[in-house]
Every structure is written in C-alpha cells, then in structure tokens.
Structure 1
Amino acid sequence: MTNATMTLPHERPAARAAGLAILAVALAALCLAPFLVYPIFLMKVLCFALFAASFNLLLGYTGLLSFGHAAFFGGASYVTAYTVKVWGLPPELGLLAGVAAAALLGLAIGFLAIRRQGIYFSMITLALSQMFFFFCLQAPFTGGEDGLQGVPRGYALGFVDLSRPLAIYFFVLAVVLIGLFAIWRIVHSPFGSILKSIRENETRATSLGLSVGTYKLAAFVMSAGLAGLAGGLKALVFQFATLTDVAWQMSGEVILMTLLGGIGTIAGPLVGAALVVSLQNYLATSAFPVTVVTGLTFMVCVLLFRRGIVGEIAHRLRRRG
C-alpha cells in the first residue's frame, strides 16, 4: 500500500472540512455584504453569477458551447416581467413561469441544435437566438425597443415586501443559492458523471450504450431553465425587461464570465461574473472604455490563468498536495 493510498482517508475529511469552512465564510460574507455595499450592485452580481453557473453546466460539464444563451436569460426576463405586471402573479410564480418558458425554449432550440457538433452546434444556437431576438423586437407584449418597464416586485410568499432593499436582496440570495445547489447536485449525481463522460469522449460514451443525444438535450434544457431563473430575478431586481437581455452581446458576456472564472468548476463562474460586473459598474463613470479594459483583463487572465482564475488556483493547489 502506497503512502498516497494510506493518507487518502485522512485527506478526504480534511478537504471536506476546508470546503465547508470556506462555504460558511462565503455565506456569512454574503449576509453582511448588503450592509456594506450597494444592494442593487450585489443583486446584479448574484443574478449574473447564477447565469454564468447555468452556462457552465452546459460548457464546463457537458462540453457544449452555446452562443445563444441570452435567449433563455432574456426570454424568462420578459415572461416574468409580463406575468407579474400584467397578470398580477406573485414574484415566486412569475419566476416559475419564466423558468418554465426558458426550459421550453431550451427544449425547442436544443432539439434542433444537438443534431450537430462543434462549431455547427454553436452557430445553430446563435442563429436561433437571433431569431428569438427579432421576435421579441416585433412582439406587441414585449414593448419593442422600450421593453417592459415599471415591473412591480410585489410580496414574496404573500407577506415579504420586496420593495424594501434588504428584503429583495435576501430573497434574491436565497433563490440564487437554491439554483447553485441544484447545479452542484446535478454535477455530483450519476447524471452529472454521464455528462462528464460525454464531454471527455462522446464516441466512447455512445459505444457504452448511452443515449448521448438524450443526455445532451436534458443538460441543455436544465441549463436553459436555470439561466431563465437568473433572467427572471434580474427583471424583478431592476423592474424592467429589455432587448439587451436577449441580444447576442449578452451571450458573449456569459461566455467571458465563465472562461475568466474557470470552466468545469463550481466557483469559477461566480468569480468571473463578479469580476466582469464589477468592471462594468466601477468603470462606467470613468474615462476608460469598459470594453477595452474588459478585453485587457481577459488577455491577462488567458496568459496567466489558462484554466481560469479558480481553475488555475485549484490546479496549483492539487500539484502542491
């Protein structure tokens, strides 16, 4: 028996304890954050963190690069905003309506896109996403270029007044944590192991008798639904839904967030989203062009952190261990 084998039972509890300690510190920081930082900014970070994590479920764990994820994010934003404003649904039902709409849209787009692989898959998702963009531009219930404005936040569970900044912050935090836990559970389930095997070698997974197309479509729909959850939350936080949410630039942003943080990691997209949103927020009033600074940041991260920020740190820690 080797030394590595002998120390493995002791290393696993230590690693698990360290992970739980980091999680506890992160949760405590998130609970204290709205008392120190502008809550709207924090909620924007949380929404995009969930969006990037949902995209990472598709790219990082299934190996599918979608250029059209803005369709699910923005589509759910419109549905949530419309159902809450026009139909008068409570916010939690509006969010569920947005998730359902995004999942159905993901089913339709995924059914067509997974028939192709590689860049062909990516371009099909982009084309279908652009078709949905023009639908949102022309549809009468979306408000066109003006979008849906004045969306009421309402009362969560019938008694939590989301018009109060702290109330909606903790509501958003709770929903995002539920979404992130769902992603973690998917990744660490037998279904997640199959997705990883498809990512590593799709041909071998097919030879083992797995219905690769079905698993890829299921991952696509789950990713779309979770992206829709993020989009619905954003509509409630900012109280509007616009064409910006369904534009192709939004798909580019979520790809950038995921790559910066590190694909194939749980925390990577969260770090990437926080970095990009922080740059956009704090450079918006400066003389520096945001896109140029973001591009330079991406170049630096590619050169110094080839696996992304979190991915590179995790890789170096494993090498030292």
Structure 2
Amino acid sequence: MPRLLILAVVAVLAILAPFYFYSVTLMTVMCFIVFACSFNLLLGYTGLLCFGHAMFFGGAAYITGQILKTTPISTELAILGGGVAAGLLGLVIGYLTMRRQGIQFAMITLAFSQFVYFIFLQAPFTGGEDGMQAIPRNALFGFVDITSNFTFYYVVLAITALCVFIYYRVVHSPYGEVLKAVRDNQPRVESLGFDPEKIKLVAFVISAAMAGVAGGLKATVYQFATLTDASWPVSGEVILMTLLGGLGTLIGPVFGAAGIILLNDYLAGFGEWALVSQGVILLVVIVFFRRGIVGELAALAKYLRRRNATPETKAKQVEAKPAH
C-alpha cells in the first residue's frame, strides 16, 4: 500500500510539474532518465561497461529526425523507429563484441562509437557539424496536435513512464534474475545449461533500443539533432548519472539523471564550471558514496531497521536463516 501511495504522489507531481517549471527542462530530464535506465540495465544488472552508449542515443536522434522530415509518419512511430534502428545497431555491435569482457569490451564499444560518430559527421542527411535542424513534430496518432511544448510534455511523460515500466519488468522477470546471475557468477550460470553470451546479447539489444527511444525523444523535444548526442562525452555523462544514482538500483537512474541535468542547467551560464562540477561529483561519489545516492540510502535504511528491531524480531531473523 505505501508503494502505491508513493506512485500516486509521483504521478500527481509529474502531471502538475509543467504548471510550475520550464517544460523543456523537465522533458530533458525525462529523456535522460530513459537513457540512464538503459545504461543501468547493461552495467548494473549485466555487468557490461559500454563506453559508447551515446552512439545509440545520437544515432536514433538522427533516424527519428530523418523519418519526421521526410515522411508524414506520426511522432510516436518515428520515435519507435529510432528505437528499432538503435536496437538493430546494438544487435550487430553486440554480436561482434559479446565474446569480450571487462576493459576489452569497454574499449571496443568506444571504438565502434567513434566509428559511428564519424559516419554521422560525413553523412549528407545529418547536416555535419551544423546538425539536423527543423525537425517537425508530426501529429500524434495522425490527428493530435503536439507542436506546443506544454502538450508534448505529457507525451514525453507517457513514453518515459512506459520505458521505466518495461525496465522494471525486465529486472523483476526470471530473465532479470538470470542477468544478475551472469553478472555475479558467469561460469556457474554456464554450468546450469544457459548461454551467457546470448543472455547478455539480448540485454545489450534491449539497452540499445531504450537508449534509442531516449535519443528520439530528445530530438523531438528540441527539434534538432547534433553530433554532440553521439559523442563520447555523452557516454561519460550517462555513466556519471548511473553511478551517482546507484548502480544496480531501480530508481537510481532517475535521481542521477535528474541531478546531473538540473545541475548542468543551473551552471550553464558558468561555462566550463559545469564540467568541473561533474568531475567533483564523480570524485565524491567514488570516494564516499560508492553505492550511489539510492544505494547508500537503502543501506542506511537497512541498518536502521536492524538497529531498531526488537529482540523478538531479531530472534525470528536468526531462526529464518538457513542452516549451513
């Protein structure tokens, strides 16, 4: 019951938010929440560190923009098309890299990301360094006008809620349990008859598709796509969001993405100080909050429950422990 109450309060606050805050900033936060959730699925629950996750984010932004500029397809289908394209790219890259682990996997994905970046730099439809401008917002479902930022906010909110729900269901499914088992002890999972490479490949494709949806959303929010979205600093930024919120936690990416985007927005007028602040945050998290904000709060709550537990409760917990 408390969980349903919390969800209801969050839903009400999200619905009322554009009446009190700038809608474009709120939509940017939601785009990066989806992006951070996709990366957390890969690193936090699968144990794969991808240094080039921005290639899916930026690539889908270009694909979504091109679909909207050249066809009358509705916006939600164009965003879905960007996600599908990112998933297919993830399938190809994942198939080529899944036999590598650790730093080898990270560096290979970075190399692929740079390769994709230079393809977009040279491709005629992307606009090169000028980016893809004037991306339209075609009518939702073919008849709902979403040219207003206020109206489009609720579309982004609905898509974000759907993506977070899918992320939640994947993590809490039997497949999600196998993912965590692969992360913690891959040889044992293999001895049980599973194929860890196929399991990780599916997670990589799902993560890439979610990152693509996030990129498509961002392209339609700002109505342009640039090379920055596909650059390695964006890959580093999503890593920071995930670490800040809490690696391997459900709501960690939400706090991490919101914190970094709002901080960048606040420090936008200070130029390079925004990057300096990110470096300081990363240093503080690594040194003092290794489990991230949500992870540390969860550990603190668990400690307080144990400390405040009655002797009867402690006795039941001891009895409940399996005998070795």
**TM-score, normalising length from structure 2?**
0.92
- Alignment counterpart, residue 180 of structure 1, candidates 161, 164, 172: 164
Residue 54 of structure 1 pairs with residue 34 of structure 2: no
- For 1:55 and 1:293, the matched residues in 2 are separated by 22
In the alignment, what sits opposite 1:21?
5
Task: Give the Cα separation in 2 of the matches to 1:61 and 1:23.
Answer: 23
How far residue 282 of structure 1 moved from its aligned partner, in angstroms, is: 0.7
* CA RMSD, Structure 1 to Structure 2 (Å): 1.1
Q: CA deviation at 1:139?
A: 1.0
CA distance in 2, matches of 1:107, 1:128: 13
1:128 paired residue number: 112
1:301 Cα deviation (Å)?
A: 2.7
Deviation string 1:239-268 (CA, Å, 9 cap, x unpaired) is 001100111111000000000000111110
CA distance in 2, matches of 1:116, 1:286: 41
Of 171, 191, 194, which aligns to 2:175? 191
Structure 2 CA distance, aligned partners of 1:49 and 1:301?
Answer: 19
Match of 2:65 among 75, 81, 84: 81
Structure 1 gaps, min length 5: 1-16
Please tell me the residue identity of whatever aligns with 1:135.
I
Q: Which of 114, 117, 127 is residue 101 of structure 2 equivalent to?
A: 117
Q: Does 1:274 align with 2:258?
A: yes
- Identity across matched positions, percent: 54
Q: In 2, are the aligned partners of 1:160 and 1:167 still within 8 Å (CA)?
A: no
Distance between the aligned counterparts of 1:288 and 1:121, measured in 2? 31
- Assess if the C-alpha contact under 8 Å between 2:135 and 2:224 holds in 1: yes
Compute the displacement of 1:288 (Å). Answer: 6.9
- 1:65-214 alignment to 2 at 5 Å? 65-214=49-198
Letter in 2 for 1:194: V
Match of 1:12 in 2: none
Q: Deviations over 1:5-35 (max 9, x none)?
A: xxxxxxxxxxxx2222222211111111111
Question: For the residues of structure 2 that align with 1:320 and 1:256, how far apart are their CA atoms?
Answer: 28
Aligned to 1:283: 267
Q: Distance in 2 between matches of 1:260 and 1:242?
A: 26
Tell me if 1:307 matches 2:291.
yes
Amino acid in the other structure paired with 2:276: V
Which range moves more in the overlay, 243-252 or 138-147? 138-147
Deviation of 1:159 after TM superposition, in Å, equals: 2.5
Kept in 1: contact 2:243–2:285 (CA 8 A): no
